[in-house]
């Protein structure tokens, strides 16, 4: 399992795309928003938490089809399926690798990009916390979507369509934590809900993903 994780991380670093792609997309979104809505500081600081969350979510979505597609094409997925690793473990490691290569850089970059959007001072901590708690759920849910569409020719579009509605609760609670934090309100309820979603998704969805992957490999 650790071998699979280190392999995926190494591939992400070597192939370049992994770490850079999501991060670059995140940067582009947050830099473009002020051009779109105008440079007014008050407006920007009001929408900053939401923009950061949407940017992170889209950056995550962008890299989902890489989770299984490459292993599917070169046949490693078949070989992994015959290896002594449980399928649930494989999908969990894949989700973890996706989070480390995509989610974690986004979490770390978000405060920096918050400066560009004049995020209020109270907001930095809560943007960071909400993304740290919420992005694992995005990776795990995305892995489920990627397992559903692995091997399909027009998989990319379908993957986005399937995953988008599944992302809604995470986005709502995540952005709510960040928004309330930025406005200095109590964040406890949405933060608990966000943590609940993440924990539930991490605990249960790998079983669904593994079942789906087994069906697709059949």
Q: Which residues bind other proteins (CB under 8 A)?
A: 2-4, 7, 10-11, 14-15, 73-76, 78-85, 144, 148-149, 152, 154-155, 158, 161-162, 164-166, 168-169, 172-173, 176, 189-190, 193, 197, 205, 208, 211-212, 215-218
The least CB distance from residue 140 to other proteins, in Å, is: 11
The least CB distance from residue 112 to other proteins, in Å, is: 27
Nearest residue (CB) to other proteins, 97 versus 212: 212
The least CB distance from residue 188 to other proteins, in Å, is: 13
The least CB distance from residue 10 to other proteins, in Å, is: 7
Nearest residue (CB) to other proteins, 32 versus 192: 192
Q: Are 2 and 24 in contact (CB under 8 A)?
A: no
First-to-last alpha carbon distance for the chain, in angstroms, is: 22
Q: What is the DSSP string of 129-192?
A: HHHHHHHHHHHHHHHHHHHHHTT-TTHHHHHHHHHHHHHHHHHHHHHHHHHHHHTT---HHHHH
The Cα–Cα gap between 48 and 182 comes to: 9
């Amino acid at each position: 399992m650790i071998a699979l994780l280190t392999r995926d991380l190494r591939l992400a670093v070597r192939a370049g795309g992994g770490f850079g792609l999501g991060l670059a997309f995140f940067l582009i979104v947050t830099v473009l928003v002020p051009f779109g809505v105008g440079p007014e500081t008050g407006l920007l600081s009001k929408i900053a938490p939401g923009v950061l969350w949407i940017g992170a979510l889209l950056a995550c979505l962008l890299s989902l089809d890489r989770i299984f597609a490459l292993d599917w094409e070169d046949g490693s997925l078949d070989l992994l399926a015959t290896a002594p690793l449980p399928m649930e473990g494989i999908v969990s490691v894949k989700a973890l690798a996706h989070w480390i290569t995509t989610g974690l850089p986004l979490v770390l970059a978000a405060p920096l990009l918050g400066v560009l959007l004049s995020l209020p001072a109270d907001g930095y901590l809560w943007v960071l916390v909400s993304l740290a708690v919420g992005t694992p759920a995005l990776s795990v849910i995305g892995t489920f979507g990627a397992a559903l569409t692995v091997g399909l020719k027009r998989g990319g579009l379908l993957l986005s369509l399937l995953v988008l509605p599944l992302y809604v609760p995470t986005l709502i609670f995540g952005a709510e934590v960040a928004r309330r934090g930025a406005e200095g309100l109590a964040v406890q309820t949405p933060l608990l809900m966000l943590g609940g979603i993440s924990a539930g998704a991490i605990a249960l969805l790998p079983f669904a993903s593994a079942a789906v992957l087994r069906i697709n490999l059949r």
